[in-house]
């Protein structure tokens, strides 16, 4: 496995990471947990050290299935791997339509709630890379970045990222970049 | 006297008028039928003129969730270029069914793209997926793709993409070809 530096983060990651969403979500029925636990161990063995999940990757029966899977499966290797997870999206289970529509929510209180849940499910004291899953039109990016800074100061997350951020918003995040 | 199997058109495919639904060989109908028996049966069906076989990703058992595809794949391997295999995923919970790149017509539209990828794959003795990942890796030294998979063989294959290296000329050639190419829309893609 080759390694490279991820963006400007200083994180040294396997050149190819592992997106774990499909193990629990979006691609039909969730895969067998034992199989996936085994697969994750094999991935570590092969040199993969970058694993991506999200709070929202789950099923109606197990809404955070993916983080729980990773928490359990990567526990023996926690100090050898980097875990990225995401906040800011949830399913509207009250909508009555299936598939459930997605709701964005990057309010500071919601982010704080999410990170606590993610840390607990991932069985770790820190998230290596914390992404905003989707831009929330109701919350300015500066406010989100502010919460990220706080979480970094508290040691709960090490790095932040924004997914699918429109270009015009990047400029506003420059003051927050280390 | 046994007549030869008739054929009919299924969309653009030409298939035996009667196909073989393989689900029951692994799934739903009680204990899994003996694999050797079913492999034999599948060979006999090809002999009889059946050339259309239906399975699905989800046809399986506790022991092997993809038992049916494994059975069909193994049994039909000797006849692969003579038969049509249909498989399916569950659209109700599988979001790929809503993705534009998997819509009917997209496959045709993307043929030039596949040809391009296959060309580089052959030249580098790599798989198409590895070519796609290697191209991404070549764009910037700090880019890290995170392809998802649930299979050990794909896990190995994806890791191998990091060993496929394109020269600057090759990357330029790929980019030029892509710029001039018609492609289908993709889920979450830029327009």
Q: What integer is the mean pLDDT of B2-19?
A: 81
Q: Which residues contact B87 (CB under 8 A, 6 or more apart)?
A: B54, B55, B56, B57, B69
How confident is residue A178, by pLDDT bands cut at 50, 70 and 90?
low
How confident is residue A88, by pLDDT bands cut at 50, 70 and 90?
very high
Beta carbons of A42 and B152 less than 8 Å apart: yes
Domain that holds residue B19: 7-179
Q: Across all residues in chain A, what is the average pLDDT?
A: 91
Q: What integer is the mean pLDDT of B18-38?
A: 75
- A111 CB-contact burial (10 Å; exposed 0-12 / middle 13-18 / buried 19+): buried
How confident is residue A116, by pLDDT bands cut at 50, 70 and 90?
very high
Q: What integer is the mean pLDDT of A55-80?
A: 94
pLDDT greater than 50 at residue B1: no
pLDDT greater than 70 at residue A99: no
Q: pLDDT of B123-172, one tens digit each?
A: 999 999 999 999 999 998 888 999 988 888 899 999 999 999 999 999 99
- At A51 the three-state DSSP class reads strand
How confident is residue B37, by pLDDT bands cut at 50, 70 and 90?
confident
Q: Give the pLDDT score at A80.
A: 96
What distances in angstroms separate CA A27 from CA A53, A119, B72, one per listed residue? 14, 25, 22
Domain that holds residue A115: 3-176
> Among residues A88, A27, A18, A26, which one has the least CA distance to residue A53?
A18
Number of domains in chain A: 1
How confident is residue B12, by pLDDT bands cut at 50, 70 and 90?
confident
Contact list, B136 vs chain A (CB under 8 Å): none
Q: Is residue B87 part of a domain?
A: yes
**Which of B70, B138, B162, B186 would you mutate first to test chain A, the one with the most A CBs within 10 A?**
B162
Q: Give the pLDDT score at A13.
A: 95
Q: Is residue B185 part of a domain?
A: no
Beta carbons of A29 and B58 less than 8 Å apart: yes
Structure tokens at B122: 């052959």
Q: Give the pLDDT score at B4.
A: 78
Alpha helices in B84-167 (DSSP H): 106-109, 111-124, 128-139, 152-160
* Nearest residue in chain B measured CA to CA from A44: B155
How confident is residue B106, by pLDDT bands cut at 50, 70 and 90?
very high
* Residues of A with active-site annotation: 57
pLDDT greater than 80 at residue A139: yes
Beta carbons of A36 and B137 less than 8 Å apart: no
Number of domains in chain B: 1
CATH number, domain with residue B35:
3.20.20.100
Beta carbons of B58 and A28 less than 8 Å apart: yes
Q: Give the pLDDT score at A37.
A: 96
Q: How far apart are the CA of B3 and the nearest CA of chain A, in angstroms?
A: 41
Q: pLDDT of B48-92, one tens digit each?
A: 888 999 998 888 876 777 889 999 999 999 999 999 999 987 676
Q: Is residue B184 part of a domain?
A: no
CATH number, domain with residue A87:
3.20.20.100
* Nearest residue in chain A measured CA to CA from B62: A32
Q: Give the pLDDT score at B191.
A: 57
Nearest by CB to A16, from B96, B141, B145: name it.
Answer: B145
A74 vs B38, which has greater pLDDT?
A74
* Overall pTM surpassing 0.90 (yes/no): no
Q: What are phi and psi of B187, to 5 degrees?
A: -60, 130
> Among residues B153, B68, B56, B171, which one has the least CA distance to residue A39?
B153
Q: Is residue B167 part of a domain?
A: yes
pLDDT greater than 90 at residue A168: no
- At B79 the three-state DSSP class reads helix
How confident is residue B2, by pLDDT bands cut at 50, 70 and 90?
low
Q: Across all residues in chain B, what is the average pLDDT?
A: 87
């Amino acid at each position: 496995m080759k390694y490279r530096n991820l963006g400007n983060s200083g994180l040294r990651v396997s050149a190819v990471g592992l997106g774990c969403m499909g193990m629990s979500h979006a691609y039909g029925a969730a895969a067998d947990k034992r199989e996936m636990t085994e697969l994750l161990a094999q991935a570590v063995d092969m040199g993969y050290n970058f694993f991506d999940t999200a709070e929202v990757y789950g099923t109606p029966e197990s809404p955070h299935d993916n983080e729980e899977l990773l928490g359990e499966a990567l526990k023996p290797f926690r100090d050898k791997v980097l875990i990225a997870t995401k906040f800011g999206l949830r399913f509207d289970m009250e909508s009555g339509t299936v598939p459930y529509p997605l709701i964005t929510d990057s309010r500071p209180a919601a982010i704080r709630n999410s990170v606590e849940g993610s840390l607990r499910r991932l069985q770790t004291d820190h998230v290596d890379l914390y992404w905003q899953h989707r831009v929330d039109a109701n919350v300015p990016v500066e406010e989100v970045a502010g919460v990220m800074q706080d979480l970094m100061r508290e040691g709960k997350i090490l790095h932040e990222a924004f997914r699918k951020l429109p270009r015009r918003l990047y400029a506003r995040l420059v003051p927050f970049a280390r | 006297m046994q007549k030869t199997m008739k054929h009919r058109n299924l969309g653009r495919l030409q298939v035996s008028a009667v196909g073989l639904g393989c689900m029951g060989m692994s799934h739903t109908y009680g204990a899994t039928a003996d694999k050797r028996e079913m492999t034999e049966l599948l060979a006999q069906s090809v002999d009889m003129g059946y050339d259309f076989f239906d399975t699905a990703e989800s046809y399986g058992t506790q022991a092997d969730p993809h038992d049916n595809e494994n059975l069909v794949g193994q049994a039909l391997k000797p006849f692969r270029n003579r038969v049509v295999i249909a498989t399916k995923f569950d659209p109700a919970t599988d979001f790929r069914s809503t993705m534009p790149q998997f819509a009917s017509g997209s496959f045709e539209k993307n043929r030039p793209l596949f040809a391009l990828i296959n060309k580089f794959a052959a030249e580098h003795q790599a798989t198409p997926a590895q070519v796609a990942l290697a191209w991404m890796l070549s764009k910037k030294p700090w880019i890290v793709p995170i392809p998802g998979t649930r299979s050990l063989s794909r896990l190995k294959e994806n890791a191998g993409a990091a060993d496929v290296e394109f020269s600057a000329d090759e990357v330029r050639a790929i980019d030029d070809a892509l710029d001039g190419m018609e492609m289908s829309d993709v889920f979450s893609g830029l327009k």
